[in-house]
C-alpha cells in the first residue's frame, strides 16, 4: 500500500488550525486535545475501507471460535487470499518488497521451513542444527564482506531483519561508550540513513546527530568531521542508502572514525548481497566493507538480496568485545540461567534453516547470476528514465533508481503510474520517486513496460498538471515542522487502525 496516497486525502481535509495546535503546547489543554482527537478520528475514518478490504466479506474473529474451524476450509481461505494478493508483487509492479519470488525458490524455502518448524535456537541443546545454520549464515556473510583480510576476527549474530541488526549494533556502541565513561552517547548519521537509526536512538536513550548529504546524495564527510565530538559512539554510512540508492563515501568516513577513535557502522542492509558480486563482475564499487580497517560493524540483510524469507538479517562486528555489548545474560533468575544474543528470546529456527538453505542452494554463482540480471535491468531502467526530458535521475545509482522532475509534479506522475498498477516509493526533500530493482523486474518486458508507462504518465501530467489526487500534500505538510506533528500523529493512528479488527 502506498501510505502517502492513503494519507493524502485525509491531510487535504486538515483544519489549518490543527497543525498549529498539534505542534504547540496548546495540544496539552484537555479541551484542545478533545478537538484534536475528534479531528483525527474523522481523518482516519476515511482510510478504513482501504486498509481493511476483507472486513465485509470474511468472518472477523473478535474472540476464539467456539470450536475450531476445519483445517481444509482454512487452507482454502489462505490459498485464496495469497492468490488474490500475488499480482501486487509477482509481476514486478512493486519497488523492492519481494527480492526473489520465483515459484521453485519459494516452494523450496517453504519445505525447509516446514521441516524445521519446531526449532528454537534458544534451545541450542535441542536443536544444534539451528546453531549450525546461524553460525554458518554469519560466517558466509562475513566472508563475502571482507572478513579474513586482516588478523581481526569478524563475528556477528543472526537477527530478525535490518532494523534489529541496526538496533543491536547501536546498543553495542552505546554500552561500549557507557563503559568508557561517556554518559550520553551519540550516533552521527546522514539524513538519508534508515529510520532504524532514529529508532535505536529513541529506544536506547541516545542522541542522533543528522548530517547533510552532498549534491550527489552522499553523506557529507566534512559535516561528519564537524559532528563528531567527545560523546560520539559511532559514525554511520550506508551502502547504499534507501532513498537514492547512493553509496556514502565509506572509505573516507570510516578513516575519519578511526582517526577520531569512534566506531563506524556500514549499513549494507540493502547492498550487502549485491555490491560484493557487482564488484566481482567488474562494476565500479567503492570500498565499503571490512576490508576497510575503520569499519567496525556492518548490517547485511539476508532477507533482501540474500533471497532468504522475511525475518532474517545479519549484524557483524570487528572483534568479540564489541559483540559482547550486544548480549544479555541473567544468572539470578529462579527460572535458571538465561542468555539471549539478540532482542527476542525464543526465535523461529525455521527462518534460520530457510535462510541457510537459501544461501547454500544459491551459492556464489547464483548470486553472481542474480546480480548480473538485476544490474543489467537497472541500467535499462536508468537510461530509459534519463531519456525522458522532463525527468532526471538523482545521484549515480546502481540498482535503486531515484528520479525527480523540475517540469512536472512527480507525485502526480506517481499517481498515474499507480493507476497502471505500479507501486513505487515516494521520496521527499527533494520530491522524487524510486524503484528498487529486484529479480521481480528482470523478466522480459518488465523494464520496457515500466519505461513506457513512465513516459505516458509524464505526458498525461504535462497535459493535465492538476488532475485529481496526488500525494504532494503529504510531502508538503511533512516538510514543515508544525504540520509534521499532524503527519506523525496520523501515522500513529494509522498503526492503531492496522490493529483494529
The residue ranges that bind ligand PLP (CB under 6 A) are 161-163, 194, 196, 238, 241-242, 267, 269-270, 301, 313
Measured between alpha carbons, how far is residue 227 from residues 61, 175, 248 in Å? 52, 20, 16
Q: Which is nearer to ligand PLP, 274 or 414 (CB)?
A: 274
272 vs 289: CA distance, rounded Å: 9
143 vs 141: CA distance, rounded Å: 6
Neighbours of 340 (CB within 10 A): 15
Contact 50, 497 (CB under 8 A): no
**Which of helix, strand or coil describes residue 69?**
coil
Closest distance to ligand PLP from the beta carbon of 141 (Å): 14
473 vs 5: CA distance, rounded Å: 10
Total residues found in the chain within this entry? 501
Q: Which is nearer to ligand PLP, 270 or 474 (CB)?
A: 270
Closest distance to ligand PLP from the beta carbon of 331 (Å): 31
Closest distance to ligand PLP from the beta carbon of 11 (Å): 24
Q: Which is nearer to ligand PLP, 194 or 323 (CB)?
A: 194
Contact 271, 99 (CB under 8 A): no
Closest distance to ligand PLP from the beta carbon of 42 (Å): 31
Contact 233, 173 (CB under 8 A): yes
Q: Which is nearer to ligand PLP, 5 or 194 (CB)?
A: 194
Contacts 24+ apart (CB under 8 A), 366-369: 367/273, 367/277, 368/277, 368/280, 368/281
Q: Which is nearer to ligand PLP, 158 or 483 (CB)?
A: 158
Q: Which is nearer to ligand PLP, 248 or 489 (CB)?
A: 248
Closest distance to ligand PLP from the beta carbon of 135 (Å): 21
| 329 φ, ψ (degrees, to nearest 5) | -130, 155
For residue 220 the three cell numbers come to: 557529507
Q: Which is nearer to ligand PLP, 274 or 322 (CB)?
A: 274
For residue 307 the three cell numbers come to: 533471497
For residue 436 the three cell numbers come to: 528498487
Closest residue to bound ligand PLP by CB: 162
**Which of helix, strand or coil describes residue 110?**
helix
Q: Which is nearer to ligand PLP, 43 or 247 (CB)?
A: 247
Closest distance to ligand PLP from the beta carbon of 269 (Å): 3
Closest distance to ligand PLP from the beta carbon of 330 (Å): 27
Closest distance to ligand PLP from the beta carbon of 241 (Å): 6
Amino acid at each position: 500500500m502506498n501510505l502517502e496516497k492513503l494519507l493524502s486525502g485525509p491531510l487535504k481535509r486538515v483544519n489549518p488550525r490543527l497543525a498549529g495546535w498539534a505542534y504547540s503546547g496548546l495540544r496539552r489543554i484537555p479541551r484542545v486535545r478533545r478537538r484534536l482527537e475528534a479531528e483525527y478520528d474523522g481523518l482516519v475514518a476515511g482510510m478504513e475501507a482501504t486498509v481493511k478490504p476483507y472486513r465485509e466479506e470474511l468472518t472477523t474473529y473478535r474472540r476464539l471460535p467456539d470450536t475450531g474451524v476445519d483445517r481444509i476450509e482454512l487452507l482454502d481461505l489462505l490459498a485464496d487470499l495469497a492468490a488474490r494478493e500475488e499480482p501486487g508483487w509477482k509481476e514486478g509492479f512493486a519497488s523492492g518488497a519481494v527480492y526473489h519470488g520465483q515459484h521453485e525458490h519459494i516452494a523450496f524455502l517453504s519445505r525447509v521451513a516446514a521441516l524445521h518448524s519446531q526449532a528454537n535456537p534458544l534451545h541450542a541443546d535441542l536443536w544444534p542444527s539451528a546453531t549450525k545454520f546461524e553460525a554458518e549464515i554469519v560466517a558466509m556473510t562475513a566472508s563475502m564482506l571482507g572478513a579474513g583480510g586482516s588478523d581481526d576476527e569478524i563475528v556477528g549474530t543472526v537477527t530478525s531483519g535490518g532494523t534489529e541488526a541496526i538496533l543491536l549494533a547501536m546498543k553495542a556502541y552505546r554500552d561500549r561508550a557507557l563503559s568508557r565513561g561517556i554518559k550520553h552517547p551519540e550516533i552521527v548519521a546522514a539524513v538519508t540513513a534508515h529510520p532504524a537509526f532514529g529508532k535505536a536512538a529513541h529506544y536506547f536513550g541516545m542522541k542522533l546527530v543528522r548530517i547533510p548529504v552532498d549534491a550527489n546524495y552522499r553523506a557529507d564527510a566534512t559535516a561528519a568531521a564537524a559532528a563528531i565530538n567527545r560523546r560520539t559512539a559511532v559514525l554511520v554510512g550506508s551502502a547504499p542508502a534507501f532513498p537514492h540508492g547512493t553509496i556514502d563515501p565509506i572509505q573516507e568516513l570510516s578513516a575519519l572514525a578511526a582517526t577520531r577513535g569512534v566506531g563506524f557502522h556500514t549499513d549494507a542492509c540493502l547492498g550487502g548481497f549485491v555490491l560484493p558480486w557487482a564488484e566481482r563482475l567488474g562494476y565500479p564499487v567503492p570500498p565499503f566493507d571490512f576490508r576497510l580497517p575503520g569499519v567496525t560493524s556492518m548490517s547485511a540483510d539476508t532477507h533482501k538480496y540474500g533471497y532468504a524469507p522475511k525475518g532474517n538479517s545479519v549484524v557483524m562486528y570487528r572483534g568479540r568485545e564489541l559483540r559482547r555489548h550486544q548480549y544479555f545474560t541473567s544468572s539470578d533468575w529462579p527460572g535458571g540461567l538465561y542468555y539471549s544474543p539478540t532482542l527476542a528470546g525464543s526465535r523461529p529456527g525455521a527462518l534460520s534453516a530457510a535462510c541457510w538453505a537459501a544461501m547454500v542452494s544459491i551459492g556464489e554463482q547464483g548470486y553472481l547470476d542474480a546480480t548480473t540480471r538485476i544490474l543489467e535491468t537497472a541500467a535499462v531502467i536508468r537510461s530509459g528514465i534519463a531519456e525522458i526530458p522532463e525527468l532526471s535521475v538523482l545521484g549515480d545509482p546502481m540498482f535503486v533508481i531515484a528520479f525527480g522532475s523540475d517540469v512536472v509534479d512527480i507525485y502526480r506522475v506517481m499517481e498515474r503510474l499507480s493507476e497502471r498498477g505500479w507501486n513505487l516509493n515516494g521520496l521527499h526533500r527533494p520530491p522524487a520517486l524510486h524503484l528498487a530493482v529486484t529479480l521481480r523486474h528482470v523478466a522480459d518486458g518488465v523494464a520496457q513496460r515500466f519505461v513506457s508507462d513512465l513516459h505516458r504518465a509524464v505526458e498525461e501530467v504535462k497535459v493535465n498538471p492538476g488532475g485529481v489526487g496526488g500525494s504532494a500534500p503529504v510531502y508538503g505538510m511533512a516538510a514543515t515542522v508544525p504540520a509534521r506533528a499532524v503527519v506523525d500523529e496520523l501515522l500513529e493512528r494509522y498503526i492503531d487502525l492496522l490493529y483494529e479488527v
